[in-house]
Structure 1
Amino acid sequence: MTAESIAPEWMHRQITSEQYDSWTEEQCAGIEIVDGMVVVSPSASKRHNRHNRLARLLANALDDAGGVEWNADTDFDVRLQGVPLNSRRPDVVVYRADTIDESPTRPDHVLLVVEVVSPRSETTDRTVEPDQYAEAGIPFYWRVEQAAGRVPIVHTYVLDEAEAAYRPGELFTGLVKAAVPYPVTVDLSGL
C-alpha cells in the first residue's frame, strides 16, 4: 500500500483559493495550506494540553481587553495573500470585531497572531510563520516558548512595514503586561 492510496488525491496537488473556498468548515479543520499544499495540523493530545491552555488563557485575556473593537479566538484560518495559496491556523488570532461574519479571515482583518511553540512546530513558529505573517502585513506577532517545567516566555514583535519584517518588542516571563497592540494583562506563571 502506498501513501497515495491512503491519503486522498487532493492532498498530492496544489489547490487554488477557489477550491479551498468551496470546502466546508469541517474539511478545513485541522489543516493548513502551505504553498498551495494541504498540511495536516493535528490537535494537541491531553498529554500536551499545556499548549492549548496557554492559547486559551491568552485568547480569553486578549478578547476581554479588546473591548468592542477586537475579538480574540483560537483555531480558525487566516487566509494569507499570494499564489500559491497559504492559509494558516494560528493558536490565537485577534481580529476586528466588525469582520466576525466575513469569511475567509484576511490579514487586513487581523491585528495580532500568537503562536505557542511546541516540539513539532519549532521551526515553523520561529521562522516560517513570522515571515509569512509579516509579508501579509499583520501588525503584531507573539511567540510563546514553553519549556517543560518552566514559566512560559512571551516574545512580542512589531511589524516594520518598510522591511515587511518583525522587529522585537517586549519580552515577558510568566506575567504578560503588554501595552501594545492594546493594554492587556495575563498571568501565565501558574501553568
Structure 2
Amino acid sequence: MSAASGNGLEDESAYRWPIPPAEGWTADDLDRIPGLPPHTELIDGSLVFMRPQTAFHGRCMRLLENSLLEQAPPHLDVMREMAVKLDSKNRPEPDVLVFQIEANTGPQQTWYKPEDVLLAVEVVSPDSRERDREVKPRKYAQAGVPHFWRVEQDAEKGLPVVYVFELDPATKSYGLTGIFHDRLKVSSPFDVEIDLTAVNRRPGRP
C-alpha cells in the first residue's frame, strides 16, 4: 500500500538519504551509494544533486557534442555528462568533455582522469551559476585541464554565448581568451567552428 506524502503525492516508501561519513564522501563512493539521482556530482566531499534539465541546457549539450565530434581529430573523443575524477573528494560531471580516445576503458566506465581531458564544458543553469562560474573551473584548472568553456544564455536572443578559457600552467588558473556570440571559431584545442544560432535546429536539418 502506498502512503500519501505531505504534498499530496503518493510514495511507495520513504527514501532514506545516504548519511555521509565524518570525513565526507570520496569519488569512488559515487559508484557504490545506492539510489543516487542521475548525474550526482561530488564537490569537496559533498554530494550535489541536479535539478531537472531545461530545454536550453539539453539543446546546447547536443549542439556542442555533435559539433565537436564532427570536427575532432581521430585521437580525440567527445562525451557528454561523464564524470572526471579530479581527486578523492571531487568528481564533477562536465556537460561536455573532449578527451584522449585511449582513455576509454569499456562500457562500464563511469569517469575519466583529468590528465586525459583536453576540454571541459559547462552550460550554466540557474541553480548552478556559482559552481559553473567559479567552483568547477577553479578545480578543473588546478587539476590541469587545459581548456574550459562556459556557456550562458543570452538574455535577449535566448542563444548560447560561449566564454572560452585557456589554462596558464604557471599559475594553474584560467585566462579568458574570447567571448563568442552567434558563431564560435577557435583554433585551440583544435580547429572548431560552431554556428551557435543552430541550437534549436535538429541535426541534419536546415
Asked whether the two chains share a fold, i.e. TM above 0.5, the reply is yes
Name the larger-Rg structure. Answer: 2
Cα 1:31–1:11 change in 2 (3 A) is farther
Counterparts of 2:93 and 2:28, CA distance in 1: 18
Q: Which runs of 5+ in 1 are unaligned?
A: none
State the TM-score, normalizing by the size of structure 2.
0.79
State the TM-score, normalizing by the size of structure 1.
0.85
Q: Where does 1:1-191 land on structure 2 (aligned, <5 Å)?
A: 6-10=15-19, 14-22=24-32, 27=36, 29-44=38-53, 48-81=54-87, 83=88, 85-101=89-105, 103=109, 104-150=111-157, 151-191=159-199
- 1:153-186 CA distance string (max 9 Å, x none): 1110000011010011122111111111100111
Letter of the 2:96 counterpart:
V
| Cα drift, residue 131 of structure 1 | 0.4
Q: Which runs of 5+ in 2 are unaligned?
A: 6-13, 200-206
On the 8 A contact 1:118/1:146 being kept in 2, the answer is no
On the 8 A contact 1:76/1:90 being kept in 2, the answer is yes
Letter of the 1:19 counterpart:
D
SS at match of 1:185: strand
Letter of the 1:64 counterpart:
E
Cα 1:111–1:28 change in 2 (3 A) is farther
On the 8 A contact 1:153/1:171 being kept in 2, the answer is yes
Letter of the 1:170 counterpart:
G
> How many pairs were matched up?
182
On the 8 A contact 2:86/2:143 being kept in 1, the answer is yes
| Cα drift, residue 65 of structure 1 | 1.2
